[in-house]
Amino acid sequence: MSEMLEDLRKRIDQCDQELQKLFNERLDIVTDVAKYKQKHSLPIFDALREEEILMRYEGLEREFFRYLMALSRKKQSKILIPYNVVLVGFMGVGKSSVGSSLAQHLGRDFLDLDDEIEQELGMSIADFFEQEGEKAFRAKETALIKKLASLNNLVFSVGGGAVLNPQNVIELKKKGRLILLTAESNTIYNRLKDDTTRPVLGVPVTKFKIEELLEKRNIVYEQVAQAIVSTDGLSLDGVIDRIVQSLFKLNDELAGSN
Ligand code: S3P
């Protein structure tokens, strides 16, 4: 190797060592910020603050800081919420959209169980129901939950029927906390009235069917949930804030009971 290249590489190594030191220093500060935010019930992710930081930079530097802040959020959420967050609840309450946004907020990955099932089946849930029936679908659902619930640091959303099986609840609670999302039957109806992908509701979706099923399922949902967040009248960010506050409250309750 030429002396010049060797010298350049040495300088890169020095830069990296400095960066590593500063990176760890930043993560330590971020950890203190996380603890402060938890104590004062503040949201982990302050979009305005992140935007303010990003605006100081351009191009590659902005990309670098965007990633740095995502890693900071990941670190904060690992400390404050050291378990999987599992969103449960009726069809149409927004589990998937809330889940993917919550995962971004917490700097972690999102898994939508129904999407995973569809990928494994190689067909839509509606088609599978039609060809193989609900029992076969539930067996697939349970097998996949058993497999995926052992992963760490994730946000999950599970289909509306998943937690009706106590075995699934046991698996999901091993490493996760269950947050029930709710919405008024009118809201659910308005969201799902033209939907053809929910076989348990049939086509066309009626308000009667939704209310009938809600009444049967709500008892179980409320029994298995460790926190309940009503989404009515809230923006997506509002729902995320409520979920994070409920998780903090759950931590406090657990700390109190120890
Ligand atoms: C179901 C809900 C669906 C899907 C399947 C059965 C249910 O998921 O798992 O169609 O029994 O409530 P979503 O709750 O995500 O719609």
* DSSP assignment of the chain: --HHHHHHHHHHHHHHHHHHHHHHHHHHHHHHHHHHHHHTT--S--HHHHHHHHTT--HHHHHHHHHHHHHHHHHHHHHH--SEEEEE-STTS-HHHHHHHHHHHHTSEEEEHHHHHHHHHTS-HHHHHHHH-HHHHHHHHHHHHHHHTTS-SEEEE--TTGGGSHHHHHHHHHHEEEEEEE--HHHHHHHHTT--S-TTT-SS--HHHHHHHHHHHHHHHHHH-SEEEE-TT--HHHHHHHHHHHHHHHHHHHHHH-
Nearest residue to 40 (alpha-carbon basis) of 238, 252, 228, 230: 252
Query: pLDDT tens for residues 153-201?
Result: 999 999 999 999 999 999 999 999 999 999 999 999 999 999 999 999 9
Average pLDDT over residues 119-135: 96
Nearest CA to ligand 1 atom 8: 159
Count of CB atoms situated within 10 Å of the CB of 140: 16
Atom number, ligand 1, closest to the C-alpha of residue 92? 16
Share above pLDDT 70 across residues of the chain, in percent, rounded to a whole number = 98
Comparing 2-6, 44-48, 63-67, 128-132, the range with the smallest average pLDDT is 44-48
91 close to ligand 1 (CB < 6 Angstrom): yes
What's the residue count for the chain? 258
Say yes or no: CB of residue 116 within 6 Å of ligand 1: no
124 Cα distance to chain centroid:
22
- Which of 90, 91, 100 most suits a substitution to test ligand 1, by most atoms within 8 Å of the C-beta? 91
Biggest alpha carbon distance in the chain? 79
Ligand 1 center from residue 200 Cα (angstroms): 7
pLDDT of residue 258: 54
CA 91 / ligand 1 centre spacing (Å): 6
Ligand 1 in contact with 89 (CB < 6 A)?
no
Task: Give the pLDDT score at 80.
Answer: 87
Residue 257 pLDDT class (50, 70, 90 cuts): low
Tell me: pLDDT of 256 over 80.
Answer: no
List all residues 6 or more positions away from 199 whose beta carbon is below 8 Å from its beta carbon: 125, 126, 129, 130, 134
Angstrom distance (rounded) from CA 248 to CA 37 = 10
Ligand 1: centre distance to CA 41 (Å): 33
For residues 19-40, give the mean pLDDT: 92
Q: Please state, rounded to an integer, the average pLDDT across all residues of the chain.
A: 94
Region of poorest pLDDT, from 71-80, 138-147, 173-182, 193-202: 71-80
Question: Is the shortest distance between the CB of 200 and ligand 1 below 6 Å?
Answer: yes
Residue 249's pLDDT is 87
Please give the number of the atom of ligand 1 that sits closest to the Cα of 95. Answer: 15
Residue 143 has pLDDT above 70, yes or no: yes
**pTM for the complete prediction?**
0.89
**Interval between CA 160 and ligand 1 midpoint (Å):** 4
Would residue 247 be called left, alpha or beta, if left means φ above 0 and alpha means ψ between -120 and 50 degrees? Answer: alpha
Model confidence at 22: pLDDT above 80? yes
Q: Whose CA is nearest to atom 16 of ligand 1?
A: 91
